Structure 1
Amino acid sequence: MARRYSGPMHARQSLPLLWLLSDARNDAGLEQALERLPQGSGFVFRHYHLDPAPRRARYETLCAKARTRRHLVILSRADWETVAAWDADGLYGSPEHFAGAPPEGKLWLATAHDSEEMQRALALGASGIFLSPVFASASHPGGETLGVFGFRVLAQQSPVPVIALGGMDEARARELDWPRWGAIDGLASTKVA
C-alpha cells in the first residue's frame, strides 16, 4: 500500500529523506538499489530513453519492487491522468511543464536550479523541491553548480521540503549537512546504510 501525502503542513515530516532517480545509466542496478534503500524512501521514475510501451513495462517492474519496500513512487514526464492511471504517488518536473494543482493525496515534486525557478514552483503549490545541481554531476557536465553555500541559502528560504540533487552521495550529503537528498549514480552503485 502506498503512503499518501496529507497536505503541505505535514510535508516536512512525510517526505522521505532519501531519493533514488532512475536513468538509462543506472537501469541495470535499480532493483538492487531499491532493495538497499531504507524502507520508506523515495523513487523517481524517469527512464526518458524508453519508448512508451517499454517505459510503462519497466515502470511496472520497478514500482512493484519499490512498493515491497514502502517507497514513494513519483513519475516524471507525465500528467495527472497518467499519474493516476499508473498509480504513482505524484509527479516530478519543472514549473514550465507543470499543469494544475496536485489532486488530493498526490505530490508535485518540482525541479529548480535557482531562486526564480524555486519561487515559481512555490507559487504553483509544489509539495517539495529538488534543488540542483549542488555539485558537478554526469547529468549536467560542465554546468554551474550551487555549491554548499548557494544550496543552503536557497534551501533555507523554502517553506516546503528541499531535496539536494546533483553529484550527491553519502559523503557529499555529510559535506552538505542536509538531511534530504537524492541521486542517480550515488545511490544506484553504492551500498546505503
Structure 2
Amino acid sequence: MKTYLITDPSYYGSSTDSLESSLEAVFSKNIPDFILYRDKSASEYPQRASAFVKICRRYTIANVLLHGDYLLANTLGADGVHFTSTQFDAITEAKKMGLYIVISTHSHEEAKRAQELGADAITYSPIFFSPAKGEPKGLEDLKEIVDKIRVPIFALGGITTQEQIKAVEECGAYGFASIRYFI
C-alpha cells in the first residue's frame, strides 16, 4: 500500500522554516512514497515550493508533487503535479512534459475521465468523514470504483488510523493519501 502525504499550512505552517521543521519531524517517523506541497493561499508559493522540493530531495522522497501548477513543477524539477477536479484540461500538456499526474476525483465519472485522459493516478474522496469535504463515499463505493478503473487509486478523506488504512487496502486501493495521518 503506497503512502501519500499531502501538506496543509494549518499543520505545516506558512513559512519556509516552519515547513522545513514540520517535514523533518514527519520524515523522522515515516518516509512517504508520494508527497504533495499544497498551500492554496500562499502568496510566495513558488519560493516555498522550491524549498519543499529541495527538502524532499534530501530525504530521497520518490515522488515529489506540486499542487495544480504543472509549469512550476516542471521548472523546479518536481516529479509531478496533483490537479484539482477542475483541471482535467491540463493533463495533456503536463503529460507532454513527462510529469507524473495525479488528479482529484469525487465521482465515478470523474475517475473514468481521468483514466481516459491519461492520468497516472487519482485520489478518490472523501472515503471517511473529513472536515468540510462533504458526505463520505464509504468503503463499498471505494471497492466499486477500484473494480471499474485501471488507473491507480489513492483513497483520500478522513484516513487517520491503521484500521482505516487496512480497510482501504482490503478494498484494493493502490494507496492512501492523508494530511492528518502523518502529523
TM over 0.5: yes
Determine if contact 2:68/2:84 at 8 Å carries over to the other structure.
Answer: no
Give the structure 2 partner of residue 11 of structure 1.
Answer: none
How much does 1:69 deviate?
2.4
CA–CA distance in 2 between the matches of 1:34 and 1:103? Answer: 32
Which consecutive residues of structure 2, in runs of 5 or more, have no partner in the other structure? 14-21
- Select the structure that is richer in helix: 2
The change in CA–CA distance for 1:55 and 1:139 in structure 2 (over 3 A counts) is farther
Moved over 4 A (4+): none
Q: 1:129 aligns with which of 109, 112, 122?
A: 122
Contact 1:95 1:121 in 2 (8 A): no
2:167 aligned residue:
175
> Matched residue of 1:171: which SS?
helix
Give the structure, 1 or 2, with the largest relative contact order (CA under 8 Å, sep 6 or more): 1
TM-score by length of 1: 0.78
Deviations 1:109-147 (A, max 9, x none): 01111101111111111100111100011251xx11111
Q: Distance in 1 between matches of 2:167 and 2:82?
A: 26
Q: Which runs of 5+ in 1 are unaligned?
A: 1-15
State, as a whole percentage, how many aligned pairs show the same letter.
23
CA distance in 1, matches of 2:40, 2:84: 15
* Aligned-residue offset at 1:45: 1.0
RMSD: 1.9
Matches within 5 A, 1:87-166: 87-98=77-88, 99-101=90-92, 102-103=95-96, 105-140=98-133, 143-166=134-157
Partner of 2:47: 57
Asked whether the equivalents of residues 23 and 47 of structure 1 are also in contact (C-alpha less than 8 Å), the reply is yes
Say which SS state the counterpart of residue 156 (structure 1) adopts: helix
- Name the residue aligned to 1:45: 37
Number of residue pairs matched? 167
Change (3 A) 1:31 1:151: same
Compute the TM-score of the two structures, normalised by the length of structure 2.
0.82
SS of residue paired to 1:160: coil
